[in-house]
Amino acid sequence: MDQTVREQREMWGTTRAYLQNHIVGVSEGHTAILRLVGVGYRATIESSAVTVSPEYPGQQFVSLKLGYSHPIELGIPTGVKASTPQPTRILLEGVEKEVVNQFAAKIRMWRKPEPYKGKGIFVNGETIKLKAKKIK
């Protein structure tokens, strides 16, 4: 442990942040709230899936209807609890912040917020600035 080595000083802060996230995760838990904005965008939690096989016994799936010709089914990772308080909201809870936010990003990837109509999947109160239409 040498204070003059830059990489070591950088890792002190990183290690502190990882430990803090683990402590908060065990004591309070981490959450991610996803809002589905768009006509016909819906989410449900299901115990079985048609297109995906379960990775572990008892795995649940998030089924998303996002305007595609088929529903999108994503397996919920271990340690993450998902619920849908409303059809257009998904609440993800878990102990590990990295796993919760990674799964939220995986869901968001299917419909990123777009700046012209304001539709998409928004994570944790995310907002976008709407752009004006292009006029010739």
Per-residue pLDDT reduced to its tens digit, 38-92: 999 999 999 999 999 999 999 999 999 999 999 999 999 999 999 999 999 999 9
Sheet holding 80-83, edge to edge: 80-83, 89-94, 30-37, 120-123
Tally Cβ neighbours within 10 Å of residue 62: 24
Q: What's the pTM value of the predicted model, to 2 decimals? A: 0.90
Per-residue pLDDT reduced to its tens digit, 5-23: 889 989 999 999 999 999 9
